[in-house]
């Protein structure tokens, strides 16, 4: 699973028909270090994605705290499809957002089901929380077979739960969600991802293809130029975020106390820059470690800082009634990436106990909806104000935190620039996640079987700064 892909590898587990199907994908990737630029703006390729990718993948449809009580529902839209996700007495369910009479959308956004259920605004048909059609005006004018329950009840959509979210899939034959997630699920389970709750939720429309928007967060190679405030700290002390070109350990010229202070400065800048990836309550605890007595060895000083920070944050959280996991144990037993990707469009960004989160959805071939959450594990029993919808902000607004604002500045001009060249060139080390997930998209567009795609997805969900990997085809 961690083997670097050999471009000349012949022993692929595909038959002749599958190979031919892959070769028939428009603008397919034939060299894992070169990504055809037309994949980011070609309308025909965008239509292939609409038909073959989004119809078969597990997609994060909503956070469960959006629909906390039976009767609460929300709407998830992906291109021309719309899904109602509803909390019922029997659990979370999902339905196509269309009246079975003549197709009118039943819901336009988050709300709570009234006593009449979903009521079609066109002809008044009604549907309850289980999707059953409970009222048809003038039943006698229809043929009996037209009104059979299977004909008129809301059409169900597969839904599974993980990490405090509801995921939907339009493909009834797709492997289960956790089978597609792979080891990333265990890494996030260990960090109590299911207990995370929203601090805030913002969204923006980017003049950028959805894949390009994701790729800005799949590698750390850009940190030097795009995020100099972070690079200065990571480069000076070789901190665990972003690559060091020389690959050296902690700078030997640094005193151990400087290593500690640089580490705290980095976490503080990261917390401010993401407004939540390192929570303010965590930074308050970590700041108190500046006066710690570090060991004489700089490398050990860095290890001691992070170990002490994890332990102190967990202890403080537990004292405040937060059901915090053992952060140090989770780090040791389930090493994580500061950016964890769940194919095709969902990110969790852990660092200490809190996380940031991203979801990206295509709108057109060259625009997308980008959403950001700040997530924290709250004290048990705490009553919280939960956003029902994202606060929409222009992508170039200074209301966004520093780090995504810097990334957003690059993306529109990158989208324009790609029209002027044939390929993007990908570093085999560090930018490999871009190649890995793009080749998995080709597998979906080629119609490969679900098990092959699920195994590929497990590899693709390998985390930030991945190398180019063998995804199985």
DSSP 140-179: GGS-GGGG-HHHHSPPB-EEEEETTEEEEES-TTSPPHHH
| Of 405, 263, 278, nearest in space to 350 by CA | 278
The residue that leads in pLDDT, 87 or 10, is 87
Cα distance between residue 217 and residue 466, in whole Å: 12
Q: What is the pLDDT of residues 94-150, one digit of tens each?
A: 999 999 999 999 999 999 999 999 999 999 999 999 999 999 999 999 999 999 999
**What's the Cα-to-Cα distance from 444 to each of 25, 48, 49, 100, 440, rounded to whole Å?**
10, 9, 8, 29, 7
Share of the chain above pLDDT 90, in %: 85
| Of 198, 189, 118, nearest in space to 153 by CA | 118
Contacts 24+ apart (CB under 8 A), 232-238: 233/262, 233/265, 233/266, 233/269, 234/266, 236/262, 237/262, 237/263, 237/266, 237/302
Cα distance between residue 180 and residue 291, in whole Å: 45
Per-residue pLDDT at 11:
42
Per-residue pLDDT for 247 more than 50? no
Share of the chain above pLDDT 70, in %: 94
Q: Which of 16-20, 191-195, 354-358 has the lowest mean pLDDT?
A: 16-20
Alpha helix stretches (DSSP H) within 227-297: 228-237, 256-274, 280-287
Tell me the pLDDT band of 237, cut-offs 50, 70 and 90: low
How much is the average pLDDT of 202-231? 94
How much is the average pLDDT of 420-441? 96
Give the CA count within 13 Å in the CB-facing half-sphere of 199: 20
Tell me the pLDDT band of 240, cut-offs 50, 70 and 90: low
Per-residue pLDDT at 407:
95
How much is the average pLDDT of 85-91? 97
Per-residue pLDDT for 246 more than 60? no
Q: Which of 18-22, 244-248, 449-453 has the lowest mean pLDDT?
A: 244-248
Q: What sign does the CA torsion over 271, 272, 274, 276 have?
A: positive
How much is the average pLDDT of 228-254? 63
Tell me the pLDDT band of 250, cut-offs 50, 70 and 90: low
Q: Residue 156's beta-bridge partner residues?
A: 95
Name every residue whose Cβ is closer than 8 Å to that of residue 302 and which is 6 or more positions away in sequence.
237, 239, 250, 259, 260, 263
Cα distance between residue 183 and residue 228, in whole Å: 32
Q: What is the pLDDT of residues 294-353, one digit of tens each?
A: 999 888 888 899 999 999 999 999 999 999 999 999 999 999 999 999 999 999 999 999
Q: Which of 267-271, 362-366, 419-423 has the lowest mean pLDDT?
A: 267-271
Is the bond leading into 344 cis (omega within 30 degrees of zero)?
yes
Per-residue pLDDT at 8:
39
Per-residue pLDDT at 7:
40
Backbone angles phi, psi at 386, to 5 degrees: -110, 120
Kindly state the helix (H) or strand (E) to which residue 323 belongs, with its residue range.
none
Average pLDDT, the chain: 93
Q: What is the pLDDT of residues 362-411, one digit of tens each?
A: 999 999 999 999 999 999 999 888 999 999 999 999 999 999 999 999 99
Q: Which of 7-11, 359-363, 447-451 has the lowest mean pLDDT?
A: 7-11
* Helix 256-274, helix 402-417: angle, nearest 10: 70
Per-residue pLDDT at 4:
41
């Amino acid at each position: 699973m961690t083997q670097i892909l050999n471009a000349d590898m012949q022993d692929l587990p595909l038959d002749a028909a599958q190979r031919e199907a892959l070769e028939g994908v428009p603008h397919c990737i034939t060299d894992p270090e070169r990504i055809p630029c037309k994949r980011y703006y070609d309308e025909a390729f965008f239509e292939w994605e609409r038909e073959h990718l989004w119809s078969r993948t597990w997609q994060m449809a909503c956070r469960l705290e959006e629909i906390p009580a039976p009767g609460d529902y929300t709407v998830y839209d992906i291109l021309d499809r719309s899904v109602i996700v509803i909390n019922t007495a029997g659990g979370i369910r999902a339905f196509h957002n269309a009246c079975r009479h003549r197709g009118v959308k039943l819901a336009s956004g988050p709300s709570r089901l009234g006593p009449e259920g979903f009521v079609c605004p066109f002809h008044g048909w009604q549907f309850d929380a289980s999707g059953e059609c409970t009222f048809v005006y003038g039943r006698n004018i229809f043929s009996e077979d037209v009104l059979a329950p299977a004909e008129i009840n809301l059409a169900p959509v597969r839904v599974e739960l993980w990490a405090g979210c509801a995921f939907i899939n339009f493909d009834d034959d797709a492997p289960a969600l956790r089978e597609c997630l792979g080891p990333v699920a265990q890494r996030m389970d260990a960090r109590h991802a299911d207990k995370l709750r929203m601090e805030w939720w913002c969204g923006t429309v980017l003049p950028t293809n959805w894949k390009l928007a994701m790729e800005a967060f799949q590698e750390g190679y850009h940190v030097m130029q795009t995020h100099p405030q972070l690079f200065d700290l990571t480069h000076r002390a070789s901190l665990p975020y972003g690559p060091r070109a020389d690959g050296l350990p902690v700078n030997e010229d640094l005193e151990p106390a400087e290593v500690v202070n640089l580490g705290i400065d980095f976490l503080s800048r990261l917390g401010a820059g993401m407004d939540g990836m390192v929570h303010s309550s965590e930074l308050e605890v970590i700041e108190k470690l500046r006066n710690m007595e570090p060991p004489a060895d700089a490398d050990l000083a860095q290890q001691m800082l992070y170990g002490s920070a994890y332990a102190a944050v967990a202890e403080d959280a537990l004292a405040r009634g937060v059901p915090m996991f053992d952060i140090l144990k989770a780090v040791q037993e389930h090493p994580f990436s500061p950016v964890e990707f769940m194919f095709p469009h969902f990110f969790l960004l852990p660092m200490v106990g809190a996380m940031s989160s991203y979801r990206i959805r295509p709108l057109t071939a060259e625009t997308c909806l980008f959403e950001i959450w700040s997530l924290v594990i709250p004290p048990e029993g705490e009553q919280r104000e939960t956003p029902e919808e994202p606060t929409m902000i222009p992508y170039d607004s200074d209301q966004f935190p520093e780090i995504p604002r810097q990334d957003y500045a690059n993306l529109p001009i990158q989208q324009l620039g790609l029209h002027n060249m044939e390929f993007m060139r990908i570093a085999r080390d560090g930018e490999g996640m871009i190649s890995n997930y793009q080749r998995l998209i080709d597998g979906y567009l080629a119609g490969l079987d679900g098990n092959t795609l699920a195994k590929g997805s497990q590899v693709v969900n390998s985390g930030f700064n991945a190398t180019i990997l063998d995804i199985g085809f």
